[in-house]
């Protein structure tokens, strides 16, 4: 992409901040369809990255990354990616991945890229494990350059400079390069130009004024942990209350709300915290757990949805906000993306506690591997830096097809396709009954009927499903094995069509089945799409 054009677009749209949502953005509350346990229905797809580790630019699905860490969305919808182990800022625009700033200049003895600290033009500058990014109203991009212990700036001309920090580990306030940090991993920009930094291994939140003055906002931790016999390590701590006395444990993510206050991923404490900058207080808004005072570096990670105080996380990292103010959380070691809204936590994507993977699919079935960054796009969809899969994933609200009739008839949808029936489906005793041949053919199954046994048979690729006329029960045969299950509805004949209970048939095929009462629609969805190479 021509960077001059990009910078011009940023200048024109300076009033639009990173991750802002336009008028057509989907709302994760009012526009979502939900399952019986209020689970939001979503589709998870791979947006960019082949999954291989590398640094290749090009078409989004062919490009390669090396542990993509965090994301930022520019006003023109260009996505910035902190490609941490390539030590570069990459960009995704118009279906192609390119380099926004940084270069590959050297490989180590094992063939891995080597980072560095060098200011200058974007195509000559060096970074060292860049992580969180923020964009201000003037189109400047700020980078938490974790491995360089510094905050960097990419200005509107593409030039890279160091805002604060000097490449050395430390905890020192001061102006610009006189200040020191210890692996900062996130940064946010306030409308007045003030920056806030998650100074992760110092366990503190720092503020950088527009003039470059760095100030520590909370109390550093004095806790130490015996990590092995006779060996102690500094560790974070936990305390709510007055900001000056509050304590954190490896804060790893920041996002600013409409009031100018901060949400913090307090990663080592397995909590989401809130800093009210006007009141000067810190509170816990979600998560919990207690670390042993002398034995545990971190509070124990866990997984639970529900009321925010009882919800549990496992090293939450990147944060983003939706149009309505909901909080999107990259729950890295639960391999999931979580959603905090109105005092409750739900899981949007990922299968916590399961084997990691890269399957695309629907909620509860798509898999991830160490998601570390999230961003909300202009249309309301969520992008995820799926770090260990070396991919960008997209989470989009499931929506009913645009051509779905708006009437009181019972309707059937398969994935995003409405299935028209010559004879309308029935709703009988709480069960949706549908003409079997139309349903089966829509799913790619062949239908036969044995008049002698009065049995309908659906077959595809060696899988056979059988149901008897006017008899409860269903038999499934696949790979030489048989399964039988009870049903509470039996097939019947109506208007010369055989009707079958859609839920039992669809679940036997392996589909997810949901019912949308508002539109009187049975929704059938394939659970996963295998994208493994």
Complete domains list, the chain, with CATH: 42-397 (2.120.10.30), 411-526 (3.30.457.10)
Residues 426-440 pLDDT 10s: 998 889 999 999 999
Q: How far is residue 427's CA from residue 410's CA, in Å, rounded to a whole number?
A: 7
Residue with tokens 């046994």: 453
Q: How far is residue 44's CA from residue 394's CA, in Å, rounded to a whole number?
A: 6
Cα–Cα distances in angstroms (integers) from residue 500 to residues 337, 438, 490, 514, in the given order: 37, 11, 7, 17
Q: Give which of 125, 119, 133, 156 is closest to 68, Cα–Cα.
A: 133
The pTM assigned to this predicted structure is: 0.92
Residue 161, pLDDT above cutoff 50: yes
Q: Give which of 489, 525, 487, 483 is closest to 506, Cα–Cα.
A: 525
Strand locations in 190-230 (E): 195-199, 204-208, 213-216, 224-228
Q: Give which of 524, 531, 477, 530 is closest to 41, Cα–Cα.
A: 524
Q: How many CB atoms lie within 10 A of CB 452?
A: 6
Residue 242 CA to its chain's centroid (Å)? 32
Burial group, residue 292, by CB count within 10 angstroms (0-12, 13-18, 19+): exposed
Cα–Cα distances in angstroms (integers) from residue 161 to residues 8, 185, 210, 338, 448, in the given order: 20, 18, 14, 35, 71
Indicate the length of the chain as a whole number: 533
What pLDDT score does 295 carry? 86
Residue with tokens 């009181």: 408
Burial group, residue 311, by CB count within 10 angstroms (0-12, 13-18, 19+): buried
Q: How far is residue 202's CA from residue 161's CA, in Å, rounded to a whole number?
A: 23
Residues 428-480 pLDDT 10s: 888 999 999 999 999 999 999 999 999 999 999 999 999 999 899 999 999 88
Q: What does the angle CA 52 – CA 57 – CA 61 come to, to the nearest 5 degrees?
A: 55
Q: How far is residue 369's CA from residue 63's CA, in Å, rounded to a whole number?
A: 18
What confidence category does residue 24 fall into, taking pLDDT thresholds of 50, 70 and 90? low
Residues 499-527 pLDDT 10s: 999 999 999 999 999 999 999 999 999 99
Q: How far is residue 265's CA from residue 259's CA, in Å, rounded to a whole number?
A: 18
Q: How far is residue 82's CA from residue 72's CA, in Å, rounded to a whole number?
A: 9
Provide the token pair at 237. 């701590």
Asked whether the beta carbons of 252 and 241 are under 8 A apart, the reply is: no
Q: Following DSSP, what letter does each residue of 348-389 receive, concatenated?
A: EEE-TTSPP---EEETTT---S-EEEEEE-TTS-EEEEEGGG
Q: Give which of 46, 47, 48, 44 is closest to 525, Cα–Cα.
A: 44
Residues 107-135 pLDDT 10s: 999 999 999 999 999 999 999 999 999 99
Q: How far is residue 343's CA from residue 350's CA, in Å, rounded to a whole number?
A: 21
What pLDDT score does 361 carry? 97
Residue with tokens 């991750």: 19
Q: What percent of the chain has pLDDT over 90?
A: 86
């Amino acid at each position: 992409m021509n960077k001059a054009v990009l910078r011009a677009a940023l200048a024109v749209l300076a009033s639009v901040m990173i991750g802002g949502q336009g008028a057509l953005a989907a709302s994760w509350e009012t526009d979502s369809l939900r399952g019986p346990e209020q689970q939001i229905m979503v589709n998870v797809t791979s947006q960019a990255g082949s999954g291989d580790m590398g640094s290749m630019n090009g078409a989004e699905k062919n490009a390669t990354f090396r542990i993509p860490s965090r994301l930022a969305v520019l006003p023109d919808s260009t996505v910035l990616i902190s490609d941490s182990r390539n030590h570069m800022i990459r960009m995704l625009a118009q279906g192609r991945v390119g380099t926004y700033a940084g270069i590959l200049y050297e490989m180590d003895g094992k063939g891995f890229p080597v980072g560095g600290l060098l200011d200058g033009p974007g195509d000559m500058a060096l970074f060292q494990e860049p992580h969180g990014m923020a964009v201000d109203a003037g189109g400047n991009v700020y980078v938490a350059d974790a491995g360089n212990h510094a905050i960097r700036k990419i200005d509107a001309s593409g030039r890279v400079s160091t805002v604060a920090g000097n490449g050395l580990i430390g905890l020192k306030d001061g102006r610009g390069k006189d200040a020191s940090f210890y692996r900062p991993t996130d940064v946010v920009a306030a409308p007045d130009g003030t920056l806030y930094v998650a100074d992760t291994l110092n366990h503190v939140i720092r503020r950088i004024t527009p003039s470059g003055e760095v100030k520590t906002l909370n109390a550093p931790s004095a806790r130490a942990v015996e990590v092995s016999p006779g060996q102690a390590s500094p560790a974070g701590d936990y305390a709510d209350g007055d900001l000056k006395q509050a304590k954190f444990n490896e804060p790893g993510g920041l996002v600013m709300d409409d009031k100018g206050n901060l949400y913090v991923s307090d990663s080592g404490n397995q909590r989401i915290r809130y800093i009210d900058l006007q009141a000067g207080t810190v509170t816990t808004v979600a998560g919990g757990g207690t670390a042993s005072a002398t034995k545990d570096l971190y509070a124990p990670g866990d997984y639970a949805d529900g009321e925010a105080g009882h919800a549990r996380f496992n090293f939450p990292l990147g944060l983003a906000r939706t149009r309505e103010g909901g909080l999107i959380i990259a729950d890295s070691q639960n391999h999931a993306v979580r959603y905090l809204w109105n005092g409750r936590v739900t899981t949007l994507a990922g299968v916590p506690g399961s084997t990691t993977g890269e399957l695309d699919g629907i909620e509860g079935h798509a898999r991830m591997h160490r998601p570390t960054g999230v961003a909300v796009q202009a249309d309301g969809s969520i992008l995820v830096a799926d770090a260990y899969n070396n991919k960008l994933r997209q989470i989009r609200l499931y929506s009913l097809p645009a051509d779905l009739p708006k009437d009181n008839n019972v309707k059937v949808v398969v994935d995003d396709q409405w299935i028209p029936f010559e004879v309308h489906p029935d709703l009988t005793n709480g069960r949706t009954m549908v003409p079997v041949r139309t349903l089966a053919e829509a799913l790619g199954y062949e239908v036969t009927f044995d008049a002698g046994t009065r049995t309908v048979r659906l077959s595809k690729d060696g899988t056979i499903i059988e149901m008897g006329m006017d008899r409860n029960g269903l038999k499934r045969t696949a790979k030489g094995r048989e399964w039988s299950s009870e049903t509470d509805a039996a097939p019947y004949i109506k208007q010369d069509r055989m009707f079958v209970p859609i839920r039992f048939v669809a679940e036997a095929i392996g589909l997810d089945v949901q019912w949308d009462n508002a539109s009187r629609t049975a929704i059938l969805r394939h659970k996963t799409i295998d994208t493994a190479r």
